Amino acid sequence: MLFVILNALGLYLLLGRWSGIGGIRGIRLTDAGQGSHAFLTAGMRLQVKLRMQIPGFWPLPYIIVREKLVRLSGGESQLYEMSFVPDYRRRGEVQFETAPLRRGKYEFQKTDCSTRDIFGLFEHRGSYSQPLHIQVLPRTITLKDWRLFRRSQRGVFQHTLTSLWARETTQIDGVREYIHGDRLSRIHWNATAKTGQWKSKEFEREALPRVVFVLDRNEISYPGAEQFELAVSVAASLIELTIAKGMPVGFVSSGQSSSYWFGQGRTPVSRDEVFQHLVEVEADSRETLGELLGQVAERFETGIHIVIIGSSTDNQTVVAMNALESKRMIPSIIHIADKHHHADEAARLRQWQLLCQSKQWEFCSVSQLDHLPQVLGVVPA
């Protein structure tokens, strides 16, 4: 009897190697939609559901599932472990919710599955891969307007009159030759009837002010990671508003490994192009804000408005801003304040504010993204 029992147990353990878990198949479903790419906003959670099918017929007591989500830019990872009991068709389903995700790019690694025999002596493993790339965009707040735009309409800016940065008004300025592709509403019927040739209306063009955003990425400027995340969110919100208003925009972001000069040479800038960069941007620069502003003065044309987003309050920045003003560039500052600042920091910030007021530079300080509409002189949309 003992011989039969031991042989039966040995045969059971041996056949467990062909449990079928090595050929497990599965799919991953998320609340961000189907496909191999998902887009989220910083702070959001991702709902994930895994459906699996184990081939074969050998009975399985349970399946342990391990999912690993890796943040590519920082090397951080999140490990999730679940279990399920397969049904009579050897199928199972598990679901979980990720932790709030930081801004960056993420990727799910292969899904590892394992099971043990009823005695827990041997473990059998299997895995399957279904790539899913996640991009977590910076958090933004919707804005209706900006006090800076209203100042530009009163002639504060030195307008650059180029056809690239001018939009048509509804005021008719004259008549021109018909160009193939002109809409029917543009055709000037009276001129066409008189001359016998197709003529189109010519509208006056309104010059638009150019706004160039400069993001300070110096690691010394930000005591904590939350401050830099706020700076990125402020930059994203303002760029989104400026592009939505149809205004020409530039964006400067200089880091340790690479520098980005969007809009240099008067090239158009798209929202998606800038946001793709903001997904992975980090405060990794050794270059001071004053040195960066010196390069901005050389690379961009005169008559533009420079919006500086950062926490630097050193004297070198003041010198660089004076140099910008000497080249007819109008500087303004959006200071990223620390929510837990000390009394000496508050006094230094007050001195900065008085200095900007004496030079008629636009200055505002923000410590939370929700307060951005108020400090900009607008209400949230």
Q: For residues 107 and 135, give the distance between their C-alpha atoms in angstroms, rounded to a whole number.
A: 9
In the beta sheet, which residues pair with residue 200? Answer: 176, 187
Q: What is the model's pLDDT at position 143?
A: 87
Which structure tokens are listed for 358? Answer: 């004496």
**Phi and psi based region of residue 263 (left: phi greater than 0; alpha: psi -120 to 50; beta: remaining):** left
Q: Say if residue 115 is exposed, middle or buried (CB neighbours under 10 Å; 0-12, 13-18, 19+).
A: buried
Q: What is the model's pLDDT at position 233?
A: 94
Residue closest to 362 by CA, chosen among 307, 324, 292: 307
pTM score, whole prediction? 0.78
**Residues 205, 207, 208, 210, CA torsion sign:** positive
> How many CA atoms does the CB half-sphere of 350 hold within 13 Å?
7
**Residues 195, 197, 198, 200, CA torsion sign:** negative
In the beta sheet, which residues pair with residue 107? Answer: 70, 133
DSSP string, 87-119: -TTSEEEEEEEPPPPPSEEEEE-PEEEEEE-TT
> How many C-beta atoms surround the C-beta of residue 333 within 10 A?
24
309 close to 216: Cβ distance less than 8 angstroms: yes
Q: Say if residue 53 is exposed, middle or buried (CB neighbours under 10 Å; 0-12, 13-18, 19+).
A: middle
CA 284 to centroid of chain Cα atoms: 17
Helices (H), 84-204: 147-153, 189-195
pLDDT means per 10 residues, the chain with 381 residues, are 76 62 87 81 92 82 91 86 89 92 92 77 81 91 81 49 45 62 73 79 57 90 88 93 85 85 82 90 87 88 87 82 85 84 72 82 88 76 47
Q: What is the model's pLDDT at position 162?
A: 42
Q: What is the model's pLDDT at position 71?
A: 92
Q: What is the model's pLDDT at position 299?
A: 86
